[in-house]
């Protein structure tokens, strides 16, 4: 048994080193990518590898945990493909995790090393959500690295989801983060810092609740997506100061931010002044930010990398150290550590994992 565990550990190390060697020749990694859309359609993973091409080394891979209902009573023959196309509700779609896992398993080992699949198909208001995550890990050992992107408060989306509205104060959410801490999973959390159309100068509606949640889980690795911004949720007053308070807090050293989504980029590089402020900020905390595209099922490399290109003015102002970490290094450090922790947890919590890994 000890020999088997040693072999498994060696295989994990070799895969990790292989991934690191590969990404050394690429320009960036992508910490935030949706292979499928709101009606669970998307890009074939082999086609996506071609889209990544020689530009993108590794990708955090997930679908979208919500399915847009097509209600004939509401929309007739006009099938909605996006949540803003209809008044019909959204609902949690758990099969997305199996779909992502099977797409990943269809790849060669060398191709798999370029992806970090994420579990998203759970309802964060459900006390059984953590059990879903555990069950996915048990069903697909050796596949997943984290959870997310999943949303709690998200403009226009949260209120459309059938059932209870998600809350940062829900014990179901604490149960999820207790499990991610135990297993070593990375979490990508979407939570708007404020509500849409908030009164100018008012205190952000959800900032204190987010910080309280993060402090309740000091050993969970959490990436706060989009730095708390959205399409309509603009940077709040003193947005940078609010983020810096988190970055300076030693109790929140486990928290990172991604700058994914073109809707975020439009604020960060809106003017030369905003670009310089953003660059100065990231240069001060280069270990805590990751680049992600937040693209959904792109058809071409140009479409896939449009946000990356949108950030060209920002890349030009970052230090050599910061630009390397934001584009690639922080991803590799965070996700490599998670891979090792999750595989180690699987060795002792998933029946037959070691034997199966050794046989592959």
Q: What does 152-189 look like in DSSP terms, one character per residue?
A: SS-TTTGGGBSSSPP-TT-HHHHHHHHHHHHHT-EEEE
From residue 296, give the alpha-carbon distance in Å to each of 34, 94, 305. 5, 18, 11
φ/ψ bin of 198: left (φ > 0), alpha (ψ from -120 to 50), beta (otherwise): beta
In this predicted structure, what is the pLDDT of residue 18? Answer: 53
DSSP secondary structure letters along 98-159:
HHHHHHHHTS-HHHHTTEEEEE----TT-TTHHHHHHHHHHHSTTT--EEEEEESS-TTTGG
What's the pLDDT tens digit per position in 202-228? 889 999 999 999 999 999 999 999 999
Averaged confidence pLDDT in the chain: 92
Per residue in 77-128, pLDDT (tens digit) is: 999 999 999 999 999 999 999 999 999 999 999 999 999 999 999 999 999 9
Residues of the chain where predicted confidence (pLDDT) is lower than 50: 1, 4, 354-356, 358-360
CA distance 43 to 51: 10
Which tens digits make up the pLDDT trace of 228-248?
998 888 775 688 899 999 999
Domains of the chain listed by start with CATH number: 28-359 (3.20.20.140)
């Amino acid at each position: 048994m000890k020999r088997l565990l040693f072999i498994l550990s060696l295989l994990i190390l070799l895969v990790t080193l292989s991934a690191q060697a590969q990404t050394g020749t690429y320009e960036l990694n992508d910490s935030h990518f949706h292979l499928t859309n709101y009606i669970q359609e998307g890009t074939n993973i082999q086609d996506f590898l071609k889209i990544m091409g020689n530009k993108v080394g590794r990708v955090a891979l997930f679908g979208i945990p919500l399915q847009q209902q097509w209600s004939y009573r509401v929309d007739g023959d006009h099938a909605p493909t996006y949540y803003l196309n209809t008044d019909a509700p959204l609902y949690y779609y758990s099969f997305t995790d199996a779909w992502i896992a099977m797409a990943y398993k269809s790849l060669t080992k060398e191709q798999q090393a370029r992806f970090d699949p994420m579990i998203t198909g759970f309802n964060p208001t459900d006390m059984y959500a953590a059990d879903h995550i555990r069950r996915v890990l048990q069903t697909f050992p050796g596949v997943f690295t984290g959870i997310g992107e999943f949303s709690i408060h998200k403009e226009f989306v949260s209120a459309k989801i059938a059932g209870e509205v998600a809350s940062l104060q829900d014990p179901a959410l604490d149960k999820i983060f207790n499990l991610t801490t135990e297993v070593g999973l990375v979490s990508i959390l979407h939570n708007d810092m404020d509500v849409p159309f908030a009164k100018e100068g008012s205190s952000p509606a959800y900032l204190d609740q987010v910080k309280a949640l993060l402090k309740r889980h000091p050993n969970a690795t959490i990436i706060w997506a989009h730095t708390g911004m959205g399409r309509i949720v603009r940077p709040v007053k003193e947005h940078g100061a609010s983020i810096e308070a988190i970055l300076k807090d030693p109790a929140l050293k486990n928290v990172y931010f991604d700058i994914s989504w073109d809707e975020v980029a439009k604020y960060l590089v809106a003017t030369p002044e905003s670009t310089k402020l953003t660059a100065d900020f990231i240069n001060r905390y280069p270990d805590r930010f990751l680049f992600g595209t937040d693209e959904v099922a792109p058809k071409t490399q140009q479409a896939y990398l449009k946000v990356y290109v949108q950030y060209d003015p920002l890349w030009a102002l970052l230090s050599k150290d910061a630009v390397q970490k934001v584009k690639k290094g922080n991803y590799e450090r965070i996700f490599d550590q998670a891979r090792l922790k999750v595989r180690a947890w699987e060795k002792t919590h998933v029946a037959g994992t070691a034997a199966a890994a050794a046989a592959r």
